[in-house]
Amino acid sequence: LFIRFGYSLYIFDIVALCYKHLVQVKLNSQYYFYMETQTALAIPDEDNCMVVYSSSQCPEAAQNNIATCLGLPCHSVRVITRRVGGGFGGKAVRSLPVATACALAAFKLRRPVRMYLDRKTDMIMTGGRHPMKICYSIGFKSDGKVTGLHVDLFINAGMTMDISPIIPHNFIEALKKYNWGAFSYDAKICKTNISTRSAMRGPGEVQGSYVAEAIIEHVASVLSTDANLVRQRNIHTVESLALFHSECLENALGYTLPSICNQLTASANYQYRSEIIQTFNKTSQWKKRGLSFVPIVHKVLSRPTPGKVSILNDGSIVVEVGGIELGQGLWTKVKQMAAFGLGQLWADRSQDLLERVRVIQADTLSVVQGGWTTGSTTSECSCEAVRLACNIMVDRLKSLKEQLQEKHGKVSWDGLISQAKMAGMDLSAREYYIPGASGSYLNYGAAASEV
């Protein structure tokens, strides 16, 4: 797969140059090392159906894959994921072979089949982060301002495609955290004879950010100047940010990266520590110190997410969401949101509903269109879906609560639900949260670290 952006042959003919360098960077792979390796349990069910318990970041994808493999309609395949013992992207697509293999064996043998990979097999099958070779040509002035950049990106995808087509986009989005002036790139996704590479914690974005910092350090080294001065020369203005990220137009108030960098420079005593480190390195032959300063511009993408809230006869509350608990605290946040959303019925918040709420496993036949738990936005999207579902329940219960208050003066949660059940009220609500224009935005940060 070949992707091109810009006019690489002419880019250095149209920019002012004092220096031009051609550089090659190689990045190796990385393994996930989650606590729980790939695992699945498949159990044949009645009517030629299949129930699969899969440690997956996307039960919906597992359902589709298994149904296709077995030649069954999706309603005959039920995938359940209670929680995942660590994912980092490795349980997104690479969980499918194990879940599908279990389902196929169980389907043929008509008996339960369980698979749990040992660490060595998991490391071989799962692949990990994409290795890359990056060749870049850069032009810059004597003050450190970059005037032109062309990047040739070679991505080792392994033997199958997996999520590799999105890697160039993610890489370039992270690379564009600086104003490179005239910018172009060529990206090639290469099929090779190694295990398939897959999503891993910031796929493409980690490499893109690393290469951006390598370029800044390279320019600083050539000019024998402090890398942070080169960063300041090339950090985006509001105008240049709009050019590099046209789909996320910013205003002067929304673009906070320069102020974040200034605050960090002051709070971390960057200038003072840098001078101390230089003095130490000159006098120490064997021990050396370094001070790193890294800003980031990260594009956040929210995804459509379902949420379902049901109130049972005794007043206890069951919540279902499409998001998967990976250790990020999704269930805790969803539970708190459900208690908050339903608690709106009492203006004084006198009813503490938190202990009444239970979040249950993701089930592809109960909550459909669950989607992927990736990108670090699933918790907030799941919470918003639950909040909207709670609003539906509040609207249904509000008039009944007001009637009961007029009669009895005070209404408890148990009394309200008991009366709602007797009145034949629907005590379950589902909502599908679809992010609007604000679902995609730029996030900014910076960190300094001394080693």
The three state secondary structure string of 325-347 is CCCCCHHHHHHHHHHHHHHHHCC
Contact 152, 134 (CB under 8 A): yes
Contact 52, 363 (CB under 8 A): no
Nearest residue to 363 via CA among 99, 102, 79: 79
How far the first Cα of the chain sits from its last, in Å, is 40
Could you tell me the strand order of the sheet in which 49-54 lies? 113-116, 39-45, 49-54, 77-81, 362-363
User: 26, exposed or middle or buried, with CB in 10 Å at 0-12, 13-18, 19+?
Assistant: exposed
315 vs 355: CA distance, rounded Å: 11
Q: Which two tokens stand for residue 356?
A: 């009444």
pLDDT at site 5? 63
* Domain limits, the chain: 39-126, 305-434
**Which residue in the block uniquely carries the two structure tokens 């202990």?**
355
pLDDT at site 38? 98
pLDDT at site 13? 56
Q: At 126, give phi and psi (nearest 5°).
A: -80, -30
pLDDT at site 295? 96
pLDDT at site 449? 95
Could you tell me the strand order of the sheet in which 2-5 lies? 2-5, 182-191, 146-158, 132-140, 19-27
Within 13 A of 130's CA, how many CA atoms are on the CB side? 35
419 vs 411: CA distance, rounded Å: 10
Nearest residue to 334 via CA among 280, 278, 384: 384
Vertex 223 angle, CA 218 and 226, to 5°:
75
CATH of 305-434, one of 3.30.365.10, 3.40.1190.20, 3.30.360.10, 3.40.980.10: 3.30.365.10
Contact 152, 136 (CB under 8 A): yes
Sign of the C-alpha dihedral, residues 241, 242, 248, 250?
positive
6 vs 244: CA distance, rounded Å: 12
Strands (E), 144-273: 146-158, 182-191
CA dihedral 169, 173, 179, 181 (to 10 degrees): 10
323 vs 306: CA distance, rounded Å: 8
190 vs 158: CA distance, rounded Å: 7
CATH T-level topology, domain 39-126: Aldehyde Oxidoreductase; domain 4 (3.30.365)
- The per-residue pLDDT string of the chain (451 residues; one tens digit each, 9 = 90 and over) reads 656 665 454 555 555 556 777 899 999 999 999 999 999 999 999 999 999 999 999 999 999 999 999 999 999 999 999 999 999 999 999 999 999 999 999 999 999 999 999 999 999 999 999 999 999 999 999 999 999 999 999 999 999 999 999 999 999 999 999 999 999 999 999 999 999 999 999 999 999 999 999 999 999 999 999 999 999 999 999 889 988 887 666 566 788 999 999 999 999 999 999 999 999 999 999 999 999 999 999 988 899 999 999 999 999 999 999 999 999 999 999 999 999 999 999 988 778 899 999 999 999 999 999 999 999 999 999 999 999 999 999 999 999 999 999 998 889 999 999 999 999 999 999 999 999 877 888 899 999 999 9
